[in-house]
Structure 1
Amino acid sequence: MAGLGLTKRWLPAQLLLLWTLSNISDSTVHLFAPDAVTLEQYSKANITITSSSPVNQSTVIQLNVTYSSKRNYSSIITLPEQVLLPEAATSVSFNVTAHDVGQVTTYLLSNNTDFDSSVRIRFMVIHSNVVSVISQVIGWIYFLAWSVSFYPQVWENWRRKSVVGLNFDFLALNLTGFIAYSVFNIGLFWIPQIKEEFLKRNPNGINPVNANDVFFSLHAALLCLVYFSQAAVYERGGQKVSRMACGLLLVAWTFALVSLFVAVAKQITWLDYLYYFSYIKLAITLIKYVPQAYMNYRRQSTEGWSIGNVLLDFTGGIFSILQMILQSYNNDEWRLIFGDPTKFGLGLFSVVFDILFMTQHYCLYRRHPQYEAVTGQED
């Protein structure tokens, strides 16, 4: 009991000590500025820098340009070399003028040792804000088209109470592919260390992964699990995942596991590790449609394979490629198309195979009206 009373008496003093130490250690004055500023060509903008607390002396903040997509950054944008933060002030503003399309990255440096020096502003001059808005709209269109494309197959399976005609190798490869794609997107969009590593390697500061990419891949992985649950309860006609598909999946996941140990040993960066996941997705995209196309050919029918899925997937692929082209044009950076090879490959190969599936459904294996009428009478 005596020990308990001593603890009670000392607790306020301990809390006071912790509070004092935390305030002493947090004497650094933090600067806040926009992480990225997008300007239309020949436009102007006012940029504000704020500090976490008033300064006790006038402070010079230098804008140190560390990257420019062109030799002379002044051909892209005009900005002051330094600005003055007055004594007792908490903010300062300056004007910038955009000229040619390009990217400029600048760090804020100060002669005051109390300021942090990790603040960076990325200026991106684009051709047109209208093109930027159109690109964003197209991004959400292909996100919706690709996302909704999974539901016609779910409906087809439920309506028929059967998954006969839906290839199980395609299901298994598709699930693995979208899990890998989700890992890549989440890492490059949400994890700060990975984003910083990407920006150091690609100083133009344009991350190829958008919010719709993240939500699409997660949604796709979830719907692939729905397919598997339907395959478990509906008639499947003796279908199972082939040995070849199992072997390919074993190779993919072994590669991912070995790469993880290599990344932990710091032989490769975590960004490289994420790109390995994107390569897994790209490889699966190259082959996942082949088993379904071959099954359709062998059965001389697309029965059980939803054409609604194909049409929406085709729409999503076309708009995905179109968005990347618009982004590359607007930023004058055609390398953006290859900045995310998985996204570009996903769109391109989806379109190619969707054209094949549409040819099978509407031309090669089209059911004649007489055959449909006879089938309906037999049913």
Structure 2
Amino acid sequence: MSVPALYRSRKKLSTVLLFTLCLMQYASSFTEASYAAITPKDLTVLVGNSNSFTLEVFGEYNTDLTLTFVEQHDSIVTIDPSSIVILANSPPKEYEVSVYGHDPGRLDVWVNATPDGIIDTNEAFVKVTVLHSNAIYHISSVVGWIYFVAWSISFYPQIYINFKRKSVVGLNFDFISLNIVGFVLYSLFNLGLFYIPEVQEEYFNRYPRGLNPIQVNDIFFSLHAVLATTFTIVQCFLYERENQRVSTTARIILGIFGVVILVSLILAATIVITWLDFLYYCSYIKLSITLIKYVPQAYMNYRRKSTVGWSIGNIFLDFVGGTLSMLQMILNAYNYNDWVSIFGDPTKFGLGLFSVIFDIFFMIQHYVLYRRMEPYMEITGNNSPEIEENNLNENNESDEK
């Protein structure tokens, strides 16, 4: 090889090596370990008091970094320090950051890095809740557990009444059919968002600074509701039911819901919509069922002029659960200065209020309108205009009181 050719070859090799070294140096600032994270993700602060979170920074950088805390809403909290400077080539380190509460409210706090693109800050956020009173916070928590227990055991009075009477006459089958579909869809939503990583990834991509809204008690309640309702359906096959059946109207409604679910399932399987959207559609159907499920039972009581066979214990527990659920929302709205959660998005509060109104109506039916009245059905022809139902006696009435 000639000297000029050897020189040109070495020059090319030096250029390649220089380019490779620059690329490696540039890539070193984007290693998987180069990120910032805040713990905990949920922080509670009392008005006039301070609390703190920890900012963890991982990776070494060949340039100085400035991490600045950004508040979603002004004047609610003060962050100290408001920014942190990380010198070049500094080792991984933890920083304690203080949060002082000025006014009640909720806000997100996240980190912006300068220069941009050197460090991953996707996990560097915290949800801050500033409270009026710590006592109200604990009262709200106790109220939440009470209504959770009340709703969880509200299925058993009806199961007991069916077992004792060996009859489901008086229990509307439309109500049961709507209930089981609603709780199955609610369980699908909870399980999907709590256990399936792909769905969780879709959720956090849509809400980058969100927290998973599903808790373990949500899973327990929905699955327990499915089991209890399924057991009640089994009782409908085992015990006397006379000519009761699911009405044509209820079948049409359930059929429409079934078509919506099937179409949504196909769209999710063909990646037209996300699986998260499919689960949201399931939850919307559950909400719709909650609005209409009590209507068939109330109308059946009206036609029979009796509530015998329909457990008033179930209604009492549902009334307690719904009332305490709304009370908790009011307490939280005051404590967090978050009245928008009730008046700006009234869905949850409205559903609770709707259920309580129906519970009151059922109590009026049981204790006022049809008190001590034997059930009857109107018939046509030359027969007596009233017929008594079988297997009803004075003990049945005392069981319902």
Bin the TM-score by the shorter chain: 0.7 to 0.9
Aligned pair 1:157/2:162, yes or no?
A: yes
Cα deviation 1:170-224 (Å, max 9, x = unaligned):
1001111122223334455565335425635xx7x57765544443222212211
Specify whether residues 296 and 288 from structure 1 end up closer, same or farther in structure 2 by C-alpha distance, changes over 3 A only. same
Aligned pair 1:48/2:54, yes or no?
A: yes
Which amino acid in the other structure matches residue 165 of structure 2? R
Identity %: 46
Specify whether residues 61 and 265 from structure 1 end up closer, same or farther in structure 2 by C-alpha distance, changes over 3 A only. farther
Specify whether residues 219 and 135 from structure 1 end up closer, same or farther in structure 2 by C-alpha distance, changes over 3 A only. same
1:77 counterpart residue number: 78
Aligned pair 1:105/2:106, yes or no?
A: no
How far apart in 2 are the matches of 1:207 and 1:260? Answer: 23
1:37 counterpart residue number: 43
Superposition map of 1:314-353 within 5 A: 314-337=319-342, 343-353=348-358
How far apart in 1 are the matches of 2:262 and 2:127? Answer: 36
Cα deviation 1:119-142 (Å, max 9, x = unaligned):
122222222222222222111111
Equivalent pairs counted in the alignment come to: 344
1:96 counterpart residue number: 99
Q: Is the 8 A contact 2:101 2:130 kept in 1?
A: yes
Largest Rg, 1 or 2: 2
Unaligned runs of 5+ in 2: 1-29, 375-391, 397-401
Q: Offset at 1:110?
A: 6.6
2:139 counterpart residue number: 134
2:290 counterpart residue number: 285
- Shifted more, 352-361 versus 264-273: the winner is 264-273
Which amino acid in the other structure matches residue 48 of structure 1? T
Cα deviation 1:53-92 (Å, max 9, x = unaligned):
x758896451342x51x3xx24433333322457345322
* TM, length-normalised to structure 2: 0.74
Q: SS at 1:118's partner residue?
A: strand
1:196 counterpart residue number: 204
Instruction: Indicate the structure with greater helix content.
Output: 1
Which amino acid in the other structure matches residue 160 of structure 1? R
2:16 counterpart residue number: none
Q: 1:180 aligns with which of 185, 197, 200?
A: 185
1:3 counterpart residue number: none
How far apart in 1 are the matches of 2:61 and 2:206? Answer: 37
Aligned pair 1:122/2:136, yes or no?
A: no
Q: SS at 1:304's partner residue?
A: coil
Unaligned runs of 5+ in 1: 1-24
Superposition map of 1:227-242 within 5 A: 227-242=232-247
1:17 counterpart residue number: none
Q: CA RMSD in A?
A: 3.4
1:4 counterpart residue number: none
Which amino acid in the other structure matches residue 98 of structure 2? N
- Shifted more, 116-125 versus 311-320: the winner is 116-125
Superposition map of 1:60-75 within 5 A: 60=65, 62-65=67-70, 68=72, 70=73, 73-75=74-76
How far apart in 2 are the matches of 1:328 and 1:248? Answer: 36
Cα deviation 1:11-55 (Å, max 9, x = unaligned):
xxxxxxxxxxxxxx9752454422121211121123222356x75
Q: Offset at 1:148?
A: 0.7
Q: Offset at 1:248?
A: 0.3
Q: SS at 2:207's partner residue?
A: helix
Q: Is the 8 A contact 2:45 2:99 kept in 1?
A: no
* TM, length-normalised to structure 1: 0.78
Q: SS at 1:235's partner residue?
A: coil
Q: Offset at 1:266?
A: 5.8
Specify whether residues 76 and 368 from structure 1 end up closer, same or farther in structure 2 by C-alpha distance, changes over 3 A only. same
